[in-house]
Structure 1
């Protein structure tokens, strides 16, 4: 399995008059560099070159493990205006490719879409992650494969984002469960709120049309990427879902597919770590489990 991951990345002052506080314009540089470094390193760690050491007396031989799993990952970081932290990452050469573009920083996600389309046909999976999201699950794409084999023609499965902290009431907090009355306008079949039932490792599995489809990322197999690329609105730079950053991660696929996430009863089936905490230290009311 070959994977392409695109990451929009910017670190600079906000535009005058822009009041929304995004990590790219208001975040701590050290924390943001650490998050981006781990986002890239984790992809290479889990989906890049791997070996298993065998020894007999003084002889050391490394063999390839995990046959049939992911075989390679290419990562493209898209930046603009020289405002980035790539020189501070201290990562080995070849861990990622830098692609600068001449574009409004808020629109970098749409440049990532163009990269995915330009390389269509070269990979099995085409991914987009915001620059502070980290995949820790080595079986992440195997789970997507399982879902897509049955539902991938019309549906896309997204992970639940979570944050972690040692000094908090919650060591792990899932952050994307906003209670919206309806699916966002423009989504495919917004009145279709069905749940997909199944099982995984002897555990009941429920995947639902979450009222908040945003995950800051998406991962499409080649069939899904072609379906999206062929839509008349592909690369139209529509920013109608909350704002440009959220739209780049969510709106295009929202118009094309039914978006599912794991239900709260099995939230960790597919998840991704939001490395720059924005929610975990806020005051929250805890409800009993149901």
Structure 2
């Protein structure tokens, strides 16, 4: 994108989707009994949030009096890095264990792929592989678990700015949050520090390794080599995808296949950063099917 402000940014998204209620639970939200409604809401919110990222140079206005459609210039945010954005959403499932009621609502706005696998736990890896091998025609590529919700309208602008600022050498992860309603704190950041003996296999955390000013009228934002690089997603540029196409992508090694696809895919090849503690709201993503809030009542506070 030589002139980003005037160009249309093409965002390609891959989402692995699986839902099957298992007696006793599977350890993941996609398998816990009695969670069909909650999981449906999370998937619908995930897809809606992606579609809401779309931008055009003009908006359509329904002129009721003249029974016609007028066109007004779209009003953008001064911090937008591009005026038009086209998300292209691809959802991957086994064709059977899926939330058809939700998918039917979005059938004309997403592209569904059926993947035949002996082990459905490998579905995230299949979605990731497709995304990286299908970089042609896309500026940015986003891998996203099916219960994550993007509420920040500048989420993609911030990622684009970071990639340009770091010459496509690093990857920026958001802080994953769960809003709370009963705790004193308004939100729980669910990806806190991992055990050092586990993390040292992959990286060495370091605070404030990078600073930059996304908003020219605001303070600089600092970034850390994170003590927990996981966020259930990753976003890379076309250039980075080209690099990964020539590399061997991990099949396991970071908890399980789900976490490996979302995290180790990039962590094995690029330094992974998150916004520092004082700037953690710079880039956040919501875990739309809360799974960690109970720890507020069972873990000691300090």
What TM-score results when the alignment is normalised by the length of structure 1? Answer: 0.87
Question: Structure 1's 137 and 22: CA in aligned 2 closer, same or farther, altered over 3 A?
Answer: same
Equivalent position SS for 2:228: coil
1:183 Cα deviation after fit? 7.0
Distance across 1 between alignment mates of 2:172 and 2:153:
17
- Name the counterpart of 2:135: 120
Residues 236-275 of structure 1 mapped to structure 2, 5 A cutoff: 236-237=250-251, 239-275=252-288
- Name the counterpart of 2:227: 211
Distance across 2 between alignment mates of 1:226 and 1:121:
9
Please give the per-residue CA displacement for 1:157-177, whole angstroms capped at 9, x wherever unaligned: 010000113233222221111
- Name the counterpart of 1:22: 28
Q: Is the Cα–Cα contact under 8 Å of residues 34 and 89 in structure 1 kept in the other structure?
A: no
Please give the per-residue CA displacement for 1:179-205, whole angstroms capped at 9, x wherever unaligned: 432673553xx3473521223431231
Residues 1-290 of structure 1 mapped to structure 2, 5 A cutoff: 1-14=9-22, 21-26=27-32, 28-47=35-54, 52=59, 58-59=65-66, 60-63=69-72, 65=74, 66=76, 68-80=82-94, 82-103=96-117, 104-181=119-196, 184-187=199-202, 190-191=203-204, 193=206, 195-201=209-215, 202-231=218-247, 233-234=248-249, 236-237=250-251, 239-282=252-295, 283=297, 284-287=299-302
Q: Which runs of 5+ in 1 are unaligned?
A: none
Distance across 2 between alignment mates of 1:120 and 1:256:
17
Distance across 1 between alignment mates of 2:263 and 2:219:
29
Distance across 1 between alignment mates of 2:206 and 2:272:
10
Equivalent position SS for 1:78: strand
Equivalent position SS for 1:197: strand
Q: Is the Cα–Cα contact under 8 Å of residues 78 and 99 in structure 1 kept in the other structure?
A: yes
Range moving further from structure 2, 49-58 or 69-78 = 49-58
Question: Structure 1's 52 and 70: CA in aligned 2 closer, same or farther, altered over 3 A?
Answer: closer
Distance across 2 between alignment mates of 1:71 and 1:174:
29
Question: Structure 1's 79 and 93: CA in aligned 2 closer, same or farther, altered over 3 A?
Answer: closer
Question: Structure 1's 62 and 167: CA in aligned 2 closer, same or farther, altered over 3 A?
Answer: farther
- RMSD (CA atoms): 2.6
Equivalent position SS for 1:47: coil
Q: Is the Cα–Cα contact under 8 Å of residues 198 and 206 in structure 1 kept in the other structure?
A: yes
1:280 Cα deviation after fit? 1.9
Question: Structure 1's 248 and 273: CA in aligned 2 closer, same or farther, altered over 3 A?
Answer: same
Question: Structure 1's 70 and 182: CA in aligned 2 closer, same or farther, altered over 3 A?
Answer: farther
Distance across 2 between alignment mates of 1:275 and 1:45:
16
Distance across 2 between alignment mates of 1:92 and 1:50:
24
What TM-score results when the alignment is normalised by the length of structure 2? Answer: 0.83
Equivalent position SS for 1:121: coil
Question: Structure 1's 228 and 184: CA in aligned 2 closer, same or farther, altered over 3 A?
Answer: farther
Total equivalences in the alignment: 280
Equivalent position SS for 2:52: helix
